[in-house]
Amino acid sequence: MIDTDREELCAAPAVPSGMAPDVVGYAWARDTIGEAGASVYRLHGKPGAPDLYLKHGRDAVADAITEEMARLRWLAGRLPVPRLVRFDCTADEAWLLTTAIPGRTAYQVLASDPAGRPAVVDALAAFLRRMHAIPVEACPFTGDHAHRLAIARARIDAGLVDVDDFDEERRGWTAEAVWNELKDLLPLAPDPVVAHGDFSLDNLIVEGHAVVGCIDVGRAGIADRYQDLAILWNCLHEFGPAMQRRLFRAYGIASPDRRKLQFHLMLDELF
């Protein structure tokens, strides 16, 4: 079945010869929602076979896909993430084929089940606590704000920031204005955890009222816990302040750090 709000039927794209046997017999649908620059396809409809996802990109996007592959390998066994089926790359292209996690996105569940929202928010907070409990000493990846600030500065200088996609409170701002505001919020006391990096409602898969997995883990690494909390809190704005407050209660924070929230939301604008 095709979700016409999120994807469209398409012909199979060219894939490396070594990947061709893995994708034979599938129907293809291209994702129309994602903003990460990669081409994302859902492979479905093959009798007796699970759905798959393929990500493909060139140049900097290929680098990001390669980083996601490495994180998927590391997270396997630690969190429910897609299983890596095959990865292939050239000097300037990358293809990442993974299994699909059955279920709907947290956004889809929250939008369609108002009565179930408190239970879903509690489950999101519990899943986030689970991820943040992974020992940082075991994690080989970094995603802290110093690392991300350096990338953000490079993106600003290269003209890659989409200012038309800023949140409403920063509508009309320039990328440089966001940069100056977030720099004024430094320094921040570090509170490092293993963070997802883009803990948004579209990257969390839910069955019933339980979180059964997360996707798009290419930014996972050691970072302040508010990297994840800020993005999820911001996503929940659409469902009302009660759900935003519930997130922090369920996570175990009585008084959210507003300075860190604002810093990480503004930093995310630059990606």
Non-local (6+) Cβ contacts of 29 within 8 A are 2, 7, 8, 9, 10, 41, 42, 44
DSSP helix, strand, coil percent of the chain (3-state; round to 5)? 45, 20, 35
Catalytic residue flag (residue 191): no
User: Which of the following is catalytic: 198, 216, 224, 257?
Assistant: 198
Residue 171's identity, in one-letter code, is: R
Please say whether the dihedral angle defined by the alpha carbons of residues 247, 250, 253 and 254, taken in this order, is positive or negative: positive
Non-local (6+) Cβ contacts of 246 within 8 A are 118, 121, 122, 125
CB count in 10 Å sphere of residue 259: 13
Catalytic residue positions? 198
